[in-house]
Structure 1
């Protein structure tokens, strides 16, 4: 027989919704009851192990019915290392509609951003779902063509940043400033924004970083990517003939200040070109 509710919650007498729920469970097949519980779980998703407990059946007994639901397109399966998760199509569609609404608003408000960070979606919609499961949910949307992903960003399908007159003017301002600075590497707050709003400039800068036209040498230091590529080549060539590199040698190599030489070296540490050996100001080849 089918156990309708092995762990029933207290319900009010003559509650029509509760009576309808129990009637559905009593009259439905095991597949119907599985679907009911998965739908009820909503965006939290139902694991196979939890479903087995709720249904008072073994996982093996439920698998044929779950396969039936999958084949009918009623549920989606996410297979993870520790458990298998099931997501009802209604919940998935409802969340897709909400995400579409929020992304549309987001693109209108922030036209110079790739999209919303996945972490923001996680906090908005699936707080109780583990990160790796949430990532699989987002991948499912992308695979189905509902949205597109660019690294850590989610956007509407077909969306691209509109590089209008304002965007191009800010891009030129940033790249010209960094080009002219050369190896006198700048902090963001040292750049003259020419009256453009800082949040908008930051959005354009983020795009330049994602497109790898500009690199962030640390949290605050910025330069053109090609300068760091050239610095990498020079430092690797230096190590072909020398064993030890100092900040002073880097300063002289690039005609810059000791402060900027330190920034260059620390960036080379981060990309595994150099590594610290002994004194703070000395480096050897990382490889």
Structure 2
């Protein structure tokens, strides 16, 4: 519940905070909602109402757990685009044994992750297509077998233990599989 002047002031505060955020983090879709709420010093309910109103009015776009100006669309610069393309090509060359030394700078990597181009599994990064193929093939394995071992997954994908383990642990964390002793079972 805002007065007209209060709503105008709150709108200006949101616009200013998001403009500043986009200037410092242009590749991110928006500021984490809780960070924005903290900067505005608002309780959860008034903040939710304000964000709903600003979203309806077309000023703010809510993107997952972030909020950004509706007019902001993250885009890579030409050098960043080159780095991203080179990295994605390197990932696709050896999809289940991706290089660990060619990751682009943090913001570019976060952009690729946010765009669904890559999947981070702990400290390893896989092309999204490779990750999806891994999930599909593991699920297909469970249609014929009750369990899978780390060695079986490693051999199935022609990769090393390190990469297979990272992928299987990620599936455990996503509640697709569950580790039972030395095997995985489908959840």
Give the TM-score band, short-chain normalised. 0.7 to 0.9
Select the residue among 229, 233, 238 that pairs with 2:132.
229
Q: 1:153 matched to which residue of 2?
A: 66
Whole-Å Cα distance in 2 between the matches of residues 166 and 136 of structure 1? 40
Q: 2:57 matched to which residue of 1?
A: 144
Q: 1:275 matched to which residue of 2?
A: 178
Deviations 1:237-268 (A, max 9, x none): 21111111100101111111112111111122
> Do the aligned partners of residues 136 and 269 (structure 1) sit closer, same or farther apart at CA in structure 2, a change above 3 Å counting?
farther
Higher relative contact order at CA 8 Å, sep ≥6: structure 1 or structure 2?
2
Q: Which runs of at least 4 in structure 1 moved beyond 6 Å after TM superposition?
A: none
Whole-Å Cα distance in 2 between the matches of residues 98 and 273 of structure 1? 42
Secondary structure of 2:35's counterpart equals helix
Select the residue among 141, 149, 152 that pairs with 1:238.
141
Q: 1:39 matched to which residue of 2?
A: none
Q: 2:31 matched to which residue of 1?
A: 116
Any residues of structure 2 matched to 1:179-198 within 5 Å, and which? 179-185=92-98, 190-191=101-102, 193=104
Task: Report the structure number with the largest CA radius of gyration.
Answer: 1
> Do the aligned partners of residues 182 and 142 (structure 1) sit closer, same or farther apart at CA in structure 2, a change above 3 Å counting?
same
> Do the aligned partners of residues 227 and 233 (structure 1) sit closer, same or farther apart at CA in structure 2, a change above 3 Å counting?
same
Q: Unaligned stretches of 5+ in structure 2?
A: none
Any residues of structure 2 matched to 1:1-287 within 5 Å, and which? 86-127=1-42, 129-130=43-44, 133-185=46-98, 190-191=101-102, 193=104, 201-218=105-122, 220-277=123-180, 279=181, 281-286=182-187
Total equivalences in the alignment: 187
Cα displacement (A) at 1:109: 2.8
Deviations 1:155-205 (A, max 9, x none): 222221233312311221331232234212455xx3365xxxxxxx21221
Q: Are the equivalent residues in 2 in contact too, given 1:186–1:223 (CA < 8 A)? A: no
Q: Are the equivalent residues in 1 in contact too, given 2:118–2:125 (CA < 8 A)? A: yes
TM-score if structure 1 supplies the norm length?
0.60
Cα displacement (A) at 1:145: 1.6
Cα displacement (A) at 1:140: 2.0
Whole-Å Cα distance in 1 between the matches of residues 4 and 36 of structure 2? 19
Q: Are the equivalent residues in 2 in contact too, given 1:113–1:161 (CA < 8 A)? A: yes
Whole-Å Cα distance in 2 between the matches of residues 108 and 90 of structure 1? 27
